[in-house]
Amino acid sequence: MLARATGDRAWLDLTATLIAGGKSNLTFELTSGAGELILRRPPTGDLLPSAHDMGREARVQRALANTSVPVPRIIARDETADVIGAPFYVMAKVAGHVIRGELPTGYADAAPEREAMANALIDVLADVHAVDPEAVGLAGFGRPDGFLTRQVSRWQGQWEASRTVEVPAVDALGRELAARLPASHAPTIVHGDFRLDNCLMSTDGPGTVAAVLDWELSTLGDPLTDLGLLLFYWREPGEPQRALSPTVTSLPGFPRRADLVERYAARTGRDLAGIRYYEAFSRFKFAVIAQGIAARVAAGAMAGQDFGDLSEEIVRIAEEGLAMLSGGGR
C-alpha cells in the first residue's frame, strides 16, 4: 500500500516501532530504505463509541494542509481494517520536539524562550480557530448547534461506558456542567485535545510550532473548549504534575495561565469571562479519559504501556472541577 501511495518500492520492506507516550491511539514509526513515516491506528480491544476515529484525523489534517495551521502531510489512509486488522493512516514525519516532562538539552533554557513557546502555542490555537471550515471543505465536519450540550452528554455517556467503580465526584461534576451550560461562542474548528505535547515544537527554536498532532477528537464547535483544556494541562510553579501528562510549564520562566488567557483574548477578540466553566469541563473530560485509559491498561490493550493507579487522580481532578464551578480556586 505504501509503495503504491509513494511510488517507492522500498516501502515493501519496512519496520514498525511503537513510539512511547501515546495513551489513546497508537503511533508507530515506519522505517525503510525510503526513509521514515508515521502510522496512527486505534488501540486494541473494545473501544468507546465514536472514539479513535482514524478517518477523522486524516480528513482534518488534509483540510488544513494549505492553511496557517501546521500539520503533517497525509500519505495514505485505510478505513477497511483489511491491511493491518484496524483502520489507520500514514503521515509524513515532521522534525520537531515532543515536550512532556522535560525540555531537550539546551532547548528553551531562558525565560524569553519559554515565553516564546507559550506564545507560539496560543497563536497556533488562535489560527486553528480562525480557519473558515467551509473554505477548507469541513462545513459538515461537525454539528455546532447545541455543541456544548452534546459534549457534556457525550462525556457523561463515555463515563458510564468506561467506569469500573462508583466515583461520586465525577457524577456530580457531570450533573453540574449540564445544569450550568453557558451560551456557546461562534463555532470554529475545534482540536479537542490541544496541549503542549500534542504539538511538535520546531528544532529551529521554541518560538515555532512545527506541527499540531492528534486530531482524533476534532470537530466544529465552541473554541473555548480547546482553551479550557490547554489551561488544565498548563501547570504553574508549586502545582503537582498530572499523572498522565507531565509537563515542563511549571518551570521558572513559563507564563502563567492568566497570561495565556490574555494573549488568546488579544489574538481572537473573544470574551473570556466564562472561561472557568470550560476549565471545569476539561476536568470532566480528563477524568473520563483517564478512566478509559485505566480500563484499557487493565485489559492489556495499550501495547504494554502502564500508567499506574489512576483512581486518586480521577477523584482529585473531578473535585477541582466542582470547586471551579462553585467559584473556588483554579
Per-residue pLDDT tens over the stretch 4-37: 888 878 787 889 998 854 556 789 999 999 999 9
Q: What is the pLDDT of residues 217-259, one digit of tens each?
A: 899 999 999 999 999 999 998 898 887 789 999 999 999 999 9
Q: What is the pLDDT of residues 92-141, one digit of tens each?
A: 999 999 999 999 999 999 999 999 999 999 999 999 999 999 999 999 99
- pLDDT at position 60, please? 96
pTM of the model: 0.89
Mean of pLDDT values over 144-148:
94
Burial 51-62 (b: 16+ CB within 10 A, else e): bbbbebbbbbbb
Whether the CB-CB separation of 29 and 38 falls below 8 Å is answered with: yes
Answer whether residue 271 is part of any domain: no
Beta strands in 1-158 (DSSP E): 15-18, 26-32, 35-41, 74-78, 88-92
Look at the chain and report how many structural domains it folds into: 1
Answer whether residue 239 is part of any domain: no
Answer whether residue 297 is part of any domain: no
Q: What is the pLDDT of residues 273-328, one digit of tens each?
A: 999 999 999 999 999 988 887 776 666 645 545 555 678 888 999 999 999 998 75
Task: Give me 119's grid cell.
Answer: 506564545
Answer whether residue 68 is part of any domain: yes
Regarding beta strands 199-201 and 209-212, do their DSSP bridges make them parallel or antiparallel, or are they unpaired? antiparallel
State how far the Cα of 219 lies from the Cα of 56, in Å rounded to an integer.
9
Answer whether residue 15 is part of any domain: yes
State how far the Cα of 259 lies from the Cα of 141, in Å rounded to an integer.
31
Whether the CB-CB separation of 214 and 245 falls below 8 Å is answered with: no
Mean of pLDDT values over 256-264:
98
- pLDDT at position 221, please? 97
3-state secondary structure 224-243: HHHHHHHHHHCCCCCCCCEC
In the chain, what is the straight-line distance between the N-terminal and C-terminal CA atoms, in Å?
49
Helix (H, G, I), strand (E, B) or coil at 312: helix
User: Is the pLDDT confidence value at 144 over 70?
Assistant: yes
Answer whether residue 62 is part of any domain: yes
What CA–CA distances, in Å, run from 274 to 182, 218, 228? 8, 22, 10
**How crowded is residue 108: how many other Cβ atoms within 10 Å of its Cβ?**
24
3-state secondary structure 159-189: HHHHCCCCCHHHHHHHHHHHHCCCCCCCCEE
CATH assignment of the domain containing 9: 3.30.200.20
Q: Which position has the grid cell 508515521? A: 38
For residue 142, give the amino acid letter: G
What CA–CA distances, in Å, run from 66 to 72, 134, 140? 11, 14, 19
- Predicted confidence band at 47 (pLDDT cuts at 50, 70, 90)? very low
Answer whether residue 60 is part of any domain: yes
Whether the CB-CB separation of 55 and 231 falls below 8 Å is answered with: no
State how far the Cα of 279 lies from the Cα of 45, in Å rounded to an integer.
31
State how far the Cα of 316 lies from the Cα of 240, in Å rounded to an integer.
11
- pLDDT at position 21, please? 47
Structural domain of 79: 2-92
- pLDDT at position 45, please? 53
Whether the CB-CB separation of 142 and 192 falls below 8 Å is answered with: no
Answer whether residue 323 is part of any domain: no
Share of the chain above pLDDT 70, in %: 91
User: Is the pLDDT confidence value at 188 over 60?
Assistant: yes
